[in-house]
Amino acid sequence: MTILEGLYYSKDHEWVKLEGDKAYIGITDQAQLELGDVVFLELPEPGDEFSAGDSIGVVESVKAASDIYTPVSGRVVEVNAELTSNPERVNEDPYGSWMVVMEIADHAELDDLMSPEDYKAYCGQEE
């Protein structure tokens, strides 16, 4: 399982990469490993607004379907349309396959997320 430095992690196995006021959000390597082969993604529309913890979409695999939760509040400014056509990219490169970009509403919410070290420990507890 790969966990990258410089990202924030949620207990729901999403990652956040912050660039200014933009938060790139995707699912972690752990999430894609648990799901298996991803075959379908349902993502929100640009302009949609969400609060931290809201479901922003669905990822379906050959094993199961799972909600995608936003770790931060904000407005969707971009959706990775390439993933809806090629959902298998999530398995190939989970950290290079961001799903949405949100204009973050409250930077303080990042304090509620885990560091890479904390996420490693969290995943170790689940195994």
Return the CATH fold of 8-105.
OB fold (Dihydrolipoamide Acetyltransferase, E2P) (2.40.50)
Query: How many percent of the chain have pLDDT more than 90?
Result: 94
Instruction: Give yes or no for a contact between 23 and 106, defined as CB atoms under 8 angstroms apart.
Output: no
Q: What is the DSSP letter of 70?
A: -
Structural domain spans, the chain: 8-105
pLDDT surpasses 60 at 105: yes
Q: What is the pLDDT of residues 19-33, one digit of tens each?
A: 999 999 999 999 999
Cα Rg of the chain, angstroms = 13
Q: The tokens of 9 are what?
A: 């992690």
> Given pLDDT bands bounded at 50, 70 and 90, which one contains residue 127?
very low
